[in-house]
Structure 1
Amino acid sequence: MTRHTLYASLLLAFGLIASTTAHALSYTAQDLGALNVTFPYSYALGINASGQVVGTSTAPSLNNHAFITGANGVGMTDLGTLGGSSSVAIGINSSGQVVGTSDFSGGGQHAFITGANGVGMTDLGTLGGTKSRANGINTSGQVAGYSLISGGYTHAFITGANGVGMTDLGTLGGTYSEAAGINDNGQVVGTATTTGDAAQHAFITGANGVGKTDLGTLGGTSSVATGINASGQVAGFAQTSGNTAWRAFVTGANGVGMGDLGSLGGTESYAFGINASGQVVGYSTLLGNSVQHAFLYDSGALFDLNSLVTLADGVYLMEAKGINDSGQIIAYSNEGRAYLLTVAVPEPGSYALMLSGLGLVGYVVRRKKLNAA
């Protein structure tokens, strides 16, 4: 066997590993439970690198309260409120700082931020109106969301580190905007109306919320951006030509280009989360559009998450809301429960191929040493 043949065999072995993994992708499913065992509703909205999950769940008071879990979804802690009856946790960063929105004692809803691991809840205020909501937070604690302004319109905002200060990000020429996500560079994504409020378009900003770029659509009138990763890839959904359907999309780095992710057989699909590898999650209607299933977009293919995980009879995942860089996914089931999906250990066949590849590597190294001697 020649050295070139060995290298070819090695590449083939690792190529087979990649192919097998792509077609044998599987997950373990973990029910995250609820704050109220009698009425066990829970809905996950955010996940960080260590698998801490945040969302909202029915509390013993029967109101919905924001929650945080420990690493890998273990345990569920009630984050309370700003003095009102209900709260929702939406975003979480690597240190466990949580953002969301809460009723407060004076009436209305305000955006909030917590300390590390969800400790404490601080009111972020508004842009002059009576309502605000925080949707995303990065590692330095910069927060993105939206607020009513004094004129009664809704505008996107960004804050400084640890939620200090609130800056109005304006619109794309219209009267409305909201921010949905932010990365560690401070690039913000969201949706804003164009001049004359003729349409709503997805947008991306530069670092620290400076400037706004209209991301366009998939040929239709409107688009919505929902998530952004470290390189500025944006996920969301947009109307297709003739406004016949909403379809999930993903862009290239810094929002360049918009690609239709297709569907699971129906006409509609919506993307909500994206990780550093460009994996995207969301949901799609099935053929006939009567049922929606959670999806994973990976390496150019759209997978029904229900085909990659084993759940109890009658239970299926309706939508996926987020994915971290380890590939852990948060999803919501038809029974009204939040789930954490974790990539399962590769199948034995993949390990065998890997060992074969490593054996070839060792053989090549030994031959090179003998030749040198």
Structure 2
Amino acid sequence: MQIKPTALAAVLLATASLAQANTTHESFSDVTGSASFDGWNQLNRSGLGCADSTCSTAKLVAGITANVAGSGDAVFKRDSGDHYPAGFGLYGGNSVLSFIDTTLVGNLGTLVFQGIVNDFSGAGFGLTLSYNGGTQALAASNVSSVLTGGVADYYRYTFDLSGLGAVNSYSLSLNAGFSQMLAFQVDQVATAPVPEPSTYALMAGGLGLVGWLARRRKVTQA
């Protein structure tokens, strides 16, 4: 079977469009069931509206609200270290940075973090989660990455919060060595509420009524 060039071009274009559907970064995937998200990109001097590193660093230390269209009000900030918004992205040696959000969806069950972090040191970085103002420093339940040799290294961390009870705030702590950071996104996925016992009783009663009506209809038709 021979594929015509025009058809092949259309397929490639469609594939490229799908790959770039996420508005935060083309490497990010849309999280299934996401009820709310916060995204940060253009983390450089120009993107922050600064002419020099002093201005942009001050903004990073004070906290940068999610700046991608459709985002919530989570804040990203540098707690310590020397990363600063350079000409292309956040650049520096050792730093501790945090993502903080106090406006969460109800029945929050999962947090999904995606980031483009080019790790030049080769030592990797750590990401932990604390919630409700605590210092739990929980590790992710699932971690995956796609490494590109320091061009746009992609990391995805999934945190399972379903067994923690009500979570009304979170703080993600990112410990990074010598690296460059380009974009981040945090998605909130709600867990479907468990029906009350009375709901199960009503469902059972309804199913029983449907069955009784079906049997009665058969007898009437006979």
Whether TM-score is above 0.5 comes out as no
For CA contacts below 8 A with separation 6 or more, give which structure has more relative contact order: 2
TM-score (norm 2): 0.32
TM-score (norm 1): 0.22
Whichever of the two has the greater Rg, that structure is 2
Greater strand content: 1
